[in-house]
Amino acid sequence: MSGRFQNTGHGSNGRNAGRGRLQQGQGNGQYNGDKSGNGGQKEKKFHPLTRGNIPEFSFDEVKKTLVIKMSTMKMDHIDDMIQSVQTLSLFDIESAKPLLVLVTNDGNPDKDIKNEERRTNYLADQKDWKARKNVFNNNKRNVYGMIMKMCTDHMVDKLEREADFENKLFNDPVELLMRIKKFMTTTVDTEWEYFGLWKTMSNLINCHQKEKENIASFCERFEERAKALQAFLCDFLDKFTEKSQNMIYWEAMMNNPNIRKNHGQRISV
pLDDT value at 186 more than 70:
yes
Residue 137 belongs to what H/E stretch? Answer: helix 111-149
Is a pLDDT exceeding 70 seen at residue 134? yes
Closest CA to 184 of 220, 159, 166: 159
149-162 burial: b if 16+ Cβ within 10 Å, else e: bbbbbbbbebbeee
Residue 111 has pLDDT above 90, yes or no: no
Q: How far is CA 180 from CA 28, 77, 147, in A?
A: 19, 25, 10
162 lies in some domain:
yes
pLDDT digits (tens, 9 = 90+) for 1-31: 444 334 444 444 444 544 444 443 333 334 4
Q: Within 13 Å and on the Cβ side, how many CA atoms surround 147? A: 28
* Under 8 Å between Cβ of 81 and 185: no
Tell me the C-alpha distance between 91 and 237, whole Å: 34
Q: What is the mean pLDDT of residues 148-170?
A: 93
Q: How far apart are CA 4 and CA 109, in angstroms?
A: 43
Which residues are CB-neighbours of 51 under 8 A, at least 6 positions away? Answer: 187, 189, 192, 195
Res 129 pLDDT > 70: yes
CA distance 234 to 103: 54
Q: What torsion do the CA atoms of 47, 49, 55, 60 make, to the nearest 10 degrees?
A: 70
Considering the domain architecture, whether residues 131 and 31 belong to the same structural domain is answered as yes
Asked if residue 108 belongs to a domain, the reply is no
- On whether both 180 and 254 belong to a single domain, the answer is no
Domain extent for 160? 2-97+124-188
Residues 134, 79 within the same domain: yes
Pair 183, 245 in one domain = no
Domain assignment present for 215: no
Amino acid at 260: R
pLDDT (tens digit per residue) in 228-254: 777 766 645 555 555 556 656 666 666
Average pLDDT over residues 206-219: 85
- Average predicted confidence (pLDDT) for the chain: 77
CA angle (191, 235, 202) in 5-degree steps: 60
For the residues 111-128, what does the mean pLDDT come to? Answer: 93
Angle (CA) 175 44 209, round 5° = 125
Q: Report the predicted TM-score, pTM, of the whole model to 2 decimal places.
A: 0.58
The pLDDT of residue 203 is 79
Looking at the domain assignment, is residue 102 inside a domain? no
Checking if the pLDDT of 208 tops 50, the result is yes
Residue 204 burial class via C-beta count within 10 angstroms: exposed 0-12, middle 13-18, buried 19 and up:
middle
| Segment 199-223 mean pLDDT | 83
> Out of 78-92, 142-156, 178-192, 209-223, which region has the weakest mean confidence (pLDDT)?
178-192
Same domain, 180 and 87: yes
pLDDT at 108: 86
**Residues 205-234: what's their mean pLDDT?**
81
Same domain for 52 and 161, yes or no, is: yes
- Where among 169, 188, 207 does a domain terminate? 188
Domain membership of residue 105 (yes or no) is no
**Sign (positive/negative) of CA torsion 247, 248, 250, 254?**
positive
pLDDT at 140 over 90: yes
Q: Answer yes or no: do 165 and 262 share one domain.
A: no
Same domain, 163 and 263: no
**Which is higher by pLDDT, 239 or 45?**
45
In a domain, 193, yes or no: no
- Integer Cα distance of 148 and 61 in angstroms: 16
- Is 198 a domain residue? no
Residues 134 and 267 in one domain: no
The pLDDT of residue 17 is 47
Same domain, 66 and 156: yes
Helices 173-185 & 153-160 angle (0-180, nearest 10):
110
Q: How many domains does the chain have?
A: 2
- Pair 86, 183 in one domain: yes
User: Residue 213 falls within a domain, yes or no?
Assistant: no
